[in-house]
Amino acid sequence: MKPQLSAFEQQQLAARVRQGDAGAFEQLFRLYYAPLVHFAARIVGTFSEAEEVVQKVFVNLWQRHTLWVPQASVTAYLYGAVRNEAIKHAQRRPPTVSLEAAEAIVSESMGVDHQLFEHELAGLVERLVGELPEQRRLIFSLSRDHGLSYAEIAQVLDISIKTVETQMGRALRQLRERVRALWNVSF
């Protein structure tokens, strides 16, 4: 979930960072780091790569902090920057097998026994949300898990608010049908 900062608090924090206030930068990092890593992981696939991506965004931000004037919300800016960096990262990922690749294997480590505890939530949610088409999944997760507004989601993903509305409607409809189907067969 994104940090609960008002638009005013966000702009204040941004202004302090712009003036070179290291404490404000650290505060920004501590507030946003974990949610941004979760978001980036949805794009790059592994948590270690997601951490790399988010750290890079913050390093870049500090290196150009005097020029930092986030137009809309700080939240939308940071999620957007992480998305861009994550896409770049995914594109230049080396094809060779490396420790990073080994970790991808780890993150796919075997889940156990999905029949018995069908209603055990974490696995079920992961699976059902995972069935959504990629863009729909990202939009849904930004709304549900990160608490971003439609306007923020549109800005982060560089799409229209109308698209967010359409995809959210479809996502919720699809998930509700899948949940119903499962409930009806479970014991």
Partner 1 sequence: MHEAIDWELLAKYVSGNCSEAERAAVETWVNADPAHRQLLEELRETWMLMGQAQRPVLVEAAWQRVQAQLTTALSRPPHPMRRHRPMGWGARVLAVLIVALGLALAYAEFWPSQKGSPSEEIELVRVFTTQRGQRATIQLLDGTRILLAPESRLEVAATYGRAGREVTLSGEAFFEVASDSLHPFVVQTSRLAVRVLGTAFGVRAYANENQAYVAVRQGKVQVQSDRVPATLAVFLEAGQLARLVGQGRLRVERMASLDVYLSWAEGRLVFVRTPLREVVQVLERWYDLEIELSDPALGERQLTATFEEASAYQVLQIIAATMNLETVRDAHHPRRILWRPASNL
Contact residue for partner 1 among 102, 158, 184, 186 (CB under 8 A): 102
Instruction: Based on the shown chain and the rule CB under 8 A, indicate whether residue 113 belongs to the binding site for partner 1.
Output: yes
Give the nearer residue to partner 1 in terms of CB position, either 107 or 135: 107
Are the C-beta atoms of residues 156 and 40 closer than 8 Å to each other?
no
Neighbours of 75 (CB within 10 A): 25
Distance of alpha carbon 176 from alpha carbon 158, whole angstroms:
27
Give the nearer residue to partner 1 in terms of CB position, either 13 or 171: 171
Are the C-beta atoms of residues 50 and 41 closer than 8 Å to each other?
yes
Instruction: Based on the shown chain and the rule CB under 8 A, indicate whether residue 127 belongs to the binding site for partner 1.
Output: no
Are the C-beta atoms of residues 68 and 18 closer than 8 Å to each other?
yes
Instruction: Based on the shown chain and the rule CB under 8 A, indicate whether residue 171 belongs to the binding site for partner 1.
Output: yes
Selected range binding partner 1 among 10-18, 68-76, 87-95, 176-184, rule: CB under 8 A = 176-184
- Residue 30, classed as helix, strand or coil, is helix
Q: List the interface residues with partner 1, window 12-41 (CB under 8 A).
A: 22-23, 25-26, 29-30, 33-35, 37-38
Contact residue for partner 1 among 140, 154, 155, 156 (CB under 8 A): 140
- Which sign, positive or negative, has the C-alpha torsion 178, 179, 180, 184? positive
Instruction: Based on the shown chain and the rule CB under 8 A, indicate whether residue 72 belongs to the binding site for partner 1.
Output: no
Distance of alpha carbon 117 from alpha carbon 10, whole angstroms:
42
> Phi-psi bin for 45: left (phi > 0), alpha (psi -120 to 50), beta?
left
* Residue numbers at the binding site for partner 1 (CB under 8 A): 1, 22-23, 25-26, 29-30, 33-35, 37-38, 47-48, 51, 54-55, 58-59, 62-63, 97-99, 101-103, 105-107, 109-113, 115-117, 119-122, 125-126, 128-129, 140-141, 143-145, 149-150, 165-166, 168-173, 175-176, 179-180
